[in-house]
Structure formats: C-alpha cells, structure tokens
C-alpha cells in the first residue's frame, strides 16, 4: 500500500511557496528512499515505513549535529537562541506534518514521511545559508 501511494505523492505535493522550488529534488530523494527500503524489506507497510522513518531520522540527526557544531561557534546567548529556535521549529514540523497527513487519512503515513523529509531539507538549507550569521547584521 505504501509503495502504491508514492505515485500519488507525485501529484499531492506537501509544499509552501518557499519549498516549491525544491520539490522535484525532494520527491526524487524520497522515491530513492522508498526503492532502497523496498529492496531491503519488501512492501510490507510497517517494515517499509520503519525503514523510511530510519532514513529520515538519520537526516534529522545530521541536522542536530550541524546545529550543535554551529552553536560551538556562537556566544552563549546566541547558542541558546539557536537551540530554542530549533526546538520551536521541531514542534512546528511535527504539527505541520501531522496536519498534512490528516488531510488524506488513507495516505497519511507516506504524506507525513514526505513532509518530514521536505521540512528537514528546507531547515538544513536555511541553516546552511545563514551559517555566517552576517545576513542579520
């Protein structure tokens, strides 16, 4: 079922105007994740979802490591603000992806997984683009 729904994601894009430009890259990346997981675990929904969740968790862990690395270059107040920003962003991501999943209950799992990938990619890009922090001065 989950593998079948991937094709539907080609039409039902979880996007905001700021994310729309990268949807094709994210869709291709998500499809590759699905194909890799299907090759490893077959098409049993729970196994496939767990595999994709693990891939997305790896991406999230890399983002957290990047934030910790950036925080080491900041003074205490700025580092605290960065961590607070990330915590608030994480809460928003969870709620936003739950909302997108709830819009289509039959396709909730793949929609939520794809949403998480899209938003993690966007947040990583946002933080990488602002890594000099000079844009705000």
The pLDDT of residue 135? 52
Domain presence at residue 111: yes
Number of domains making up the chain: 1
Measured distance CA(35)–CA(124) in Å, rounded: 24
User: By the 8 A CB rule, do 22 and 124 touch?
Assistant: no
Residue 120 included in any domain: yes
16 pLDDT tier (thresholds 50, 70, 90): very low
Distance separating alpha carbons of residues 101 and 107, to the nearest angstrom: 7
pLDDT confidence of residue 62: 93
Q: Domain of 71?
A: 2-9+22-130
Residue among 82, 19, 26 at smallest CA distance from 56: 26
pLDDT the model gives residue 9: 43
pTM of the complete model? 0.75
Say if 15 falls within a structural domain: no
Considering the domain boundaries, does residue 16 fall inside one?
Answer: no
pLDDT tens profile 114-135 = 999 999 999 988 888 765 544 5
Residue 17 lies in a domain: no
Helix, strand counts (H, E) of the chain: 5, 0
pLDDT of residue 7: 40
Q: Is residue 137 part of a domain?
A: no
Helix (H) or strand (E) holding 104: none
pLDDT of the residue at 45: 80
The dihedral through the CA atoms of 30, 32, 35, 41 has a sign that is negative
Summarised one tens digit per residue, pLDDT across range 57-111 is: 999 999 999 999 999 999 999 999 999 999 999 999 999 999 999 999 888 999 9
């Amino acid at each position: 079922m989950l593998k079948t729904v991937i094709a539907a994601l080609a039409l039902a894009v979880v996007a905001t105007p700021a994310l729309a430009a990268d949807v094709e890259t994210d869709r291709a990346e998500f499809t590759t994740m699905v194909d890799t997981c299907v090759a490893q675990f077959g098409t049993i929904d729970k196994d496939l979802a767990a595999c994709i969740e693990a891939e997305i968790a790896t991406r999230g862990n890399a983002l957290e490591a990047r934030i910790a690395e950036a925080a080491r270059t900041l003074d205490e107040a700025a580092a605290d603000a960065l961590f607070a920003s990330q915590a608030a962003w994480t809460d928003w991501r969870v709620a936003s992806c739950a909302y997108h999943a709830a819009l289509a209950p039959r396709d909730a799992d793949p929609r939520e997984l794809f949403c998480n990938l899209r938003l993690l990619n966007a947040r990583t890009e946002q933080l990488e683009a602002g890594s000099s922090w000079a844009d705000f001065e």
